[in-house]
């Protein structure tokens, strides 16, 4: 068993004192970032990249830090959902539905502990999934040529638009805007400056830290300001702090199902934790017996989304590590961090950098254990963080964001660019264009163009190369299916309203 041997080697990397300390720091930061409304895993991870660089962390340590923060955020997001009814980050939206009613019934302690336990199971199932599937996918993906890669990225972007729910056109436009933004700067193949408007600051393109922090921090600050006029008071976590065996057993089947579902959604490029938690919640609600209390504080309704979002966070590492296609917005940022280290994620990573890959996978196990151990006894400390008022929090976020952006190039041009992108992102957000689409498009853009051009160079301009191999033909079929999905849904919805009208 090669896999087990590699995994052992990975634990060797992840258990070194430095990396263990990093995982501990990362999970703590992640939990806090996750529970604060206004900061999510995407900004959390992006803000730490300049710090990781400045501290001279080796790539595997940096990646362990970022992954620990990511997983920590999925744990932390639930705290503000349960106590405040405000999701700490997007994928914890579904947690509010049953978590907040439970807290109102005085069961906040039980809700917090059972959701931490659910996150742990979700993370554990998905990490086992990563161990099994990632090496398989990597060996298979080595046979991908530029044409297949290009098609894979088309598939990833189509997935995002086709599965993002009720707004496929807006999502598609958002992805395309992201792809377009990645064209800015000097063209690597021909040396032509594209869309730089003669500006020196844009000549090597938009730095992805600038884009991420603009889109997610600045627009979030504006949104927080907009919401200053309705305050909300946190419910005190009191009573029994730990769930009992009976409660644990009642959600165990939910945990297992949602964990597998979350992992599957995590692997799909672009689907991400938000969709996974929503799907898990819907599925459990449908499976539950008629007398369910979903929406009024059902433990299963709390366990399902929490299991799924942790599982999906771990699962989204699979396409990032094996294919070099991020599975979620946060892994897109992690991929950006890897490219800053001159490491190109992809199938060869497993051969060339086994320490990095397996160290990361092993650290997912470790971070998960740290998080469950930390989250149960220290929950009182974390709930304290929620009492920090916005007037302290927001200036701090804004200044740290500026430091993060300034640290990339040490130019104030990037600060202005970030504000511009932030305003644009805020407008997009108000009009329901998903920002994660822009981010994923931006990360995939460069790879997509270079693979397309490489494929066409090999075929000497013949477009037929794009559907020449069985892999690319399968991908075309999948793309067609995914693009057809929203049309089919719209058609079915129209048919349903048509049949309902005569009744009314």
Partner 1 sequence: MYQRLFTGFLLVVCAVLGWMAWGLEAPFSYEPVGPRAYPLLLLGLIAAGALLLFVKPALEGGDSAEPPLPPIMIPKLLLCLALLLALAALFERLGFVLSSIAFAYGMCRLFGGRNLQAVVVALVLGIGLYFLFDRILDVPLPLGVLAALEN
Distance from the Cα of residue 499 to its chain's centroid: 39
Which CB, 235 or 415, lies closer to partner 1?
Answer: 415
Q: What is the 3-state secondary structure (H, E, C) of 292-335?
A: CCCCCCCHHHHHHHHHHHHHHHHHCHHHHHHHCCCCCHHHHHHH
Residues in region 40-79 near partner 1 by CB under 8 A: 50-51, 54-56
Rounded to 5 degrees, φ, ψ at 186 are -75, 135
Q: Which is nearer to partner 1, 57 or 116 (CB)?
A: 57
Please tell me whether residue 388 binds partner 1 under the rule CB under 8 A: no
Q: Which of 195, 467, 481, 487 binds partner 1 (CB under 8 A)?
A: 195
Candidates 21, 378, 416, 467: give the one binding partner 1 (CB under 8 A): 416
Distance of CA 326 to CAs 116, 306, 331, 460, Å? 26, 21, 5, 30
- 469 contacts 145 by C-beta, under 8 angstroms: yes
Is 341 or 406 the residue whose CB approaches partner 1 more closely? 406
> Whole-angstrom Cα distance, residue 103 to residue 116?
15
Using CB under 8 A, which of 1, 4, 245, 431 touches partner 1? 431
Rounded to a whole number of angstroms, the minimum distance from the CB of residue 424 to partner 1 is 10
Q: Is 225 in the site for partner 1 (CB under 8 A)?
A: yes
Q: Does 430 bind partner 1 (CB under 8 A)?
A: yes
One DSSP character per residue, 453-468 reads HHHHHHTTT-GGGGG-
- Is 501 among the residues that bind partner 1 (CB under 8 A)? no
Give the footprint of partner 1 on residues 148-167 (CB under 8 A). 166-167
Question: Could you give the C-alpha distances from 283 to 112, 184, 280, 308, 322, in angstroms and in order?
Answer: 22, 42, 5, 11, 29
Among 449, 471, 475, 479, binds partner 1 (CB under 8 A): 449
Q: Is 390 in the site for partner 1 (CB under 8 A)?
A: yes
176 binds partner 1 (CB under 8 A): yes
Taking the complex as a whole, the smallest distance from the CB of residue 452 to partner 1 amounts, in Å, to 7
Q: Is 419 in the site for partner 1 (CB under 8 A)?
A: yes
Find the part of the chain contacting partner 1 (CB under 8 A) among 61-69, 125-133, 173-181, 329-337: 173-181
In the chain the first and final C-alpha atoms are separated, in Å, by 64
Closer to partner 1 by Cβ: residue 144 or 442: 442
* Cα gap 143→166, rounded to integer Å: 36
- Indicate which single residue of 257, 285, 453, 489 sits in contact with partner 1 (rule: CB under 8 A): 453
Closest to 334 in 3D by CA, of 149, 324, 477: 324
Number of residues that bind partner 1 (CB under 8 A): 67
In whole angstroms, give the CA distance from residue 220 to residue 60: 30
Nearer to partner 1, 86 or 242 (CB): 86
CA dihedral (434, 436, 438, 441) in degrees, to 10, reads -130
Q: Is 173 in the site for partner 1 (CB under 8 A)?
A: yes
461 in contact with partner 1 (CB under 8 A): yes
Strand partners, 194: 185
List the one residue from 97, 102, 218, 280 that touches partner 1 (CB under 8 A). Answer: 218
Q: Which helix (H) or strand (E) holds 185?
A: strand 185-186
What is the C-alpha to C-alpha distance for residues 53 and 58, in angstroms, rounded to an integer? 9
Does 402 help bind partner 1 (rule: CB under 8 A)? yes
- Report, in Å, the least distance between residue 127 CB and partner 1: 30
Nearer to partner 1, 403 or 484 (CB): 403
Q: State which residue, 8 or 165, has the beta carbon closest to partner 1.
A: 165
Site for partner 1 in 277-306 (CB under 8 A): none
Residue ranges in 297-356 that form contacts with partner 1 under rule CB under 8 A: none
Paired strand residues for 185: 194
CA atoms within 13 A on the CB side of 322: 25
Please count the CA atoms within 13 angstroms of the CA of 239 that sit on its side-chain side.
Answer: 16
CB of 176 to partner 1, least distance (A): 5
Contact string (CB under 8 A) for partner 1, positions 233-272, x = contact: ----------------------------------------
Q: How many residues does the chain have?
A: 504
CA distance 284 to 307: 12
- List residues binding partner 1 (CB under 8 A): 50-51, 54-56, 166-170, 172-173, 176-177, 179-180, 183, 187, 189-192, 194-195, 218, 221-226, 228-229, 389-392, 394-396, 398-400, 402-403, 406-407, 410, 412, 415-416, 418-419, 422-423, 427, 429-432, 449, 452-453, 456-457, 460-461
């Amino acid at each position: 068993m090669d896999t087990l041997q590699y995994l052992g080697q990975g634990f060797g990397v992840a258990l070194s004192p430095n990396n263990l300390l990093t995982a501990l720091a990362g999970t703590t930061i992640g939990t806090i970032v996750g529970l604060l409304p206004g900061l999510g895993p995407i900004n959390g991870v992006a803000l730490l990249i300049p710090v990781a660089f400045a501290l001279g962390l080796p790539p595997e340590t940096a990646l362990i830090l970022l992954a620990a923060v990511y997983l920590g955020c999925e744990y932390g997001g639930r705290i503000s959902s349960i106590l405040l009814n405000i999701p700490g980050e997007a994928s914890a939206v579904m947690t509010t539905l049953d978590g907040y009613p439970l807290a109102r019934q005085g069961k906040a302690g039980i809700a917090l502990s059972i959701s931490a336990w659910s996150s742990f199971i979700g993370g554990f199932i998905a990490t086992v999934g990563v161990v099994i599937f990632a090496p398989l996918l990597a060996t298979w993906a080595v046979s991908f040529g530029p044409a297949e890669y290009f098609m894979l990225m088309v598939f990833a972007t189509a997935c995002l638009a086709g599965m993002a729910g009720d707004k496929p056109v807006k999502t598609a436009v958002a992805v395309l805007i992201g792809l377009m933004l990645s064209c800015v700067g000097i063209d690597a193949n021909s040396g032509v400056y594209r869309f730089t408007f003669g500006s020196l600051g844009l000549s090597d393109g938009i730095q992805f830290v600038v884009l991420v922090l603009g889109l997610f921090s600045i627009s979030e600050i504006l949104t927080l300001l907009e919401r200053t006029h309705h305050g909300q008071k946190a419910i005190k976590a009191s009573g029994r702090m730990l769930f009992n065996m009976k409660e644990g057993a009642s959600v165990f089947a939910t945990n297992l199902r949602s964990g597998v579902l979350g992992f599957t959604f995590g692997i799909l490029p672009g689907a991400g934790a938000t969709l996974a938690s929503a799907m898990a919640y819907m599925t459990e609600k449908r499976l539950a017996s008629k007398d369910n209390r979903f929406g009024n504080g059902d433990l299963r309704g709390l366990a399902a989304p929490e299991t799924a979002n942790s599982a999906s966070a771990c699962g989204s590492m699979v396409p990032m590590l094996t294919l070099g296609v991020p599975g979620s917005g946060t892994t897109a940022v992690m991929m950006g961090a890897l490219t800053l280290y001159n490491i190109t994620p992809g199938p060869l990573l497993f051969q060339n950098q086994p320490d990095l890959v397996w160290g990361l996978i092993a650290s997912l196990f470790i971070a998960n254990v740290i998080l469950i151990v930390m989250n149960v006894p220290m929950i009182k400390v974390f709930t304290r963080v929620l009492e920090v008022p916005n007037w302290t929090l927001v200036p701090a976020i804004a200044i740290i964001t500026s430091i993060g952006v300034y640290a990339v190039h040490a130019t104030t041009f990037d600060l202005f660019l970030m504000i511009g992108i932030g305003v644009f992102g805020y407008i997009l957000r108000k009009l329901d264009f998903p920002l994660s689409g822009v981010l994923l498009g931006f990360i995939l853009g460069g790879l997509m163009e270079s693979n397309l051009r490489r494929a066409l160079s090999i075929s000497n301009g013949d477009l037929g190369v794009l559907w020449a191999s069985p892999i690319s033909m399968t991908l075309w079929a999948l793309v067609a299916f995914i693009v057809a999905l929203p049309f089919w849904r719209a058609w079915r919805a129209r048919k349903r309203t048509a049949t309902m009208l005569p009744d009314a």
